[in-house]
C-alpha cells in the first residue's frame, strides 16, 4: 500500500481481558475497542490513540503500538490506578458471549484530553466507550472529514440519551445485530436499520459475527459482506473493532467522501481485518500482518461471492 497516511484519531477502551472460549482461556489478554481498532487501522492510516490505562498495563503492548506506528501519546497512564478489565465467556457457537465481569477502574474518572494537534485529525472513530466521553471528544474536534462510532448493549441500557446524541452527529455507526434490535425494539434487521437511520445515523453497518455484515447507506441502498468461513476461530474478541479499523482505515486512505463504491470496499477491508483478528487471542494476529497478506485475503473475499460468470437461465 502506498505512502500517504492520513491521521485517524481513535478514542475508546484499552483493556485487559479475561477470555474464556469452549476450548481455551487467556487470563491477561490485552484488548479494548481502541486497541483492536488501532492495530487494524494502522495498516491503512496514521493512527492516534486516546484512552487511559493503569500501572498494570503491559509495557509490551506500548512497544507493539510503537512498532505498528500507532501514536499513543494520547494514552494516559494512571500510576496509581488499574486498567479497565473485562471478562467474557464465549458460548459453544463462538458467536454469542456472556459478560462475566466489567471493572471500569481508571475509566471511572477519565476525562479525555487531546495532545496538541489531535483536534484537527481528519478522521475520527469513537470506539466503544461511555457515550459521554465520545461526545466530549467529538466536541473538541475541528471539523473532521469523516467520523464513525461504535457502541454496545451496556450503553444502550444505561446511557441511551447520550448515545442518541452521539449517533445523530456521526457519519457512520457500526453496531452488532443484537444491539440494533435492543436499540430499536425491532427484530427484523432492515426495520431496525431504518429505525436507527431515523435516529440520525446516516450510514449504518450492522455486524453479524460469523454471518458477516450489512451496510445501509444514506442513499437508501444496502450491501452485504460475508465473513470468511474459518475452520478454527481462536478468539472472536475484537472482531467488531478490527472490522471498524479496516473500514475506517480504508476510507481514510482513499480520502474521498464515502460513496456507494468506497463504502462497499470499506466493508470488505473491514471483514478482512476481522477475519485475521479471530485467528488468535488478543491482537496477536493483527500485529504480524503485512500489506501483501491483507491484499491476498481481500482477493479471497472477492472470490467468495463472485458469481459474475454464473450461467443465467434464459
- Residue ranges that bind ligand AMP, judged by CB under 6 A: 13, 15, 17, 31-33, 86, 102, 128-129, 152, 154, 237-241
Report the alpha-carbon distance of residue 94 to residue 108 in Å, rounded. Answer: 30
Q: How far is 149 from 37, CA to CA, in rounded Å? A: 11
Taking a C-beta distance cutoff of 8 angstroms, is the pair 241, 17 a contact? no
Catalytic choice (161, 241, 284, 306): 241
Nearest distance in Å: CB 117, ligand AMP: 26
| Closest to 151 in 3D by CA, of 179, 187, 190, 121 | 179
Residue closer to ligand AMP by CB (options 6, 33) is 33
Check if 284 is active-site: no
Q: What is the rounded end-to-end Cα distance, in angstroms, of the chain? A: 42
The candidate with the shortest Cα–Cα distance to 227, out of 284, 164, 274, is 274
Q: Which is nearer to ligand AMP, 6 or 41 (CB)?
A: 41
230: left (phi over 0), alpha (psi -120 to 50) or beta: beta
CA distance 180 to 199: 12
Nearer to ligand AMP, 8 or 15 (CB): 15
Grid cell, residue 74, equals 494520547
We find the least distance from the C-beta atom of residue 237 to ligand AMP, in angstroms, to be: 5
Question: Smallest gap, in angstroms, from Cβ of residue 243 to ligand AMP?
Answer: 8
Output the smallest distance, CB 190 to ligand AMP, in A: 23
Residue number of the CB atom closest to ligand AMP: 31
Q: Answer positive or negative: Cα dihedral of 129, 133, 135, 137.
A: negative
Residue 153 burial class via C-beta count within 10 angstroms: exposed 0-12, middle 13-18, buried 19 and up: middle
Least Å distance between CB 206 and ligand AMP? 13
Contacts of 199 (CB under 8 A, 6+ apart): 164, 167, 168, 183
Instruction: For ligand AMP, give the closer residue by CB, 31 or 148.
Output: 31
Residue (104 or 164) nearer to ligand AMP, CB = 104
Catalytic center residues: 241
Amino acid at each position: 500500500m502506498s505512502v500517504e497516511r492520513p491521521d485517524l484519531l481513535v478514542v475508546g477502551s484499552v483493556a485487559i481481558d479475561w477470555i474464556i472460549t469452549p476450548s481455551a482461556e487467556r487470563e491477561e489478554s490485552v484488548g479494548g475497542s481502541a486497541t483492536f481498532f488501532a492495530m487494524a487501522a494502522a495498516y491503512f492510516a496514521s493512527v492516534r490513540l486516546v484512552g487511559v490505562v493503569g500501572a498494570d498495563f503491559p509495557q509490551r503492548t506500548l512497544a507493539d503500538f510503537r512498532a505498528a506506528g500507532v501514536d499513543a501519546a494520547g494514552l494516559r497512564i494512571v500510576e496509581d490506578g488499574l486498567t479497565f478489565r473485562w471478562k467474557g465467556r464465549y458460548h459453544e457457537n463462538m458467536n454469542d458471549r456472556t459478560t462475566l465481569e466489567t471493572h471500569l477502574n481508571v475509566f471511572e474518572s477519565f476525562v479525555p484530553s487531546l495532545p496538541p494537534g489531535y483536534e484537527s485529525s481528519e478522521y475520527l472513530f469513537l470506539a466503544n466507550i461511555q457515550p459521554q466521553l465520545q461526545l466530549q471528544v467529538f466536541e473538541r474536534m475541528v471539523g473532521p472529514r469523516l467520523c464513525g462510532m461504535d457502541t454496545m448493549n451496556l450503553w444502550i441500557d444505561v446511557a441511551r440519551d447520550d448515545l442518541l446524541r452521539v449517533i445523530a452527529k456521526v457519519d457512520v455507526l457500526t453496531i452488532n445485530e443484537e444491539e440494533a434490535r435492543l436499540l430499536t425494539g425491532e427484530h427484523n434487521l432492515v426495520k431496525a436499520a431504518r429505525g436507527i437511520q431515523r435516529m440520525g445515523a446516516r450510514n449504518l453497518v450492522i455486524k453479524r459475527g460469523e454471518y458477516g455484515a450489512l451496510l445501509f447507506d444514506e442513499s437508501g441502498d444496502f450491501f452485504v459482506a460475508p465473513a470468511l468461513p474459518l475452520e478454527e476461530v481462536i478468539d472472536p474478541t475484537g472482531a467488531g473493532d478490527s472490522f471498524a479499523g479496516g473500514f475506517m482505515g480504508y476510507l481514510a486512505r482513499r480520502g474521498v467522501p464515502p460513496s456507494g463504491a468506497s463504502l462497499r470496499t470499506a466493508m470488505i477491508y473491514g471483514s478482512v481485518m476481522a477475519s485475521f483478528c479471530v485467528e488468535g487471542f488478543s491482537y496477536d494476529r493483527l500485529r504480524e500482518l503485512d500489506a501483501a497478506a491483507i491484499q491476498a485475503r481481500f482477493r479471497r473475499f472477492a472470490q467468495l461471492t463472485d458469481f459474475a460468470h454464473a450461467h443465467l437461465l434464459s
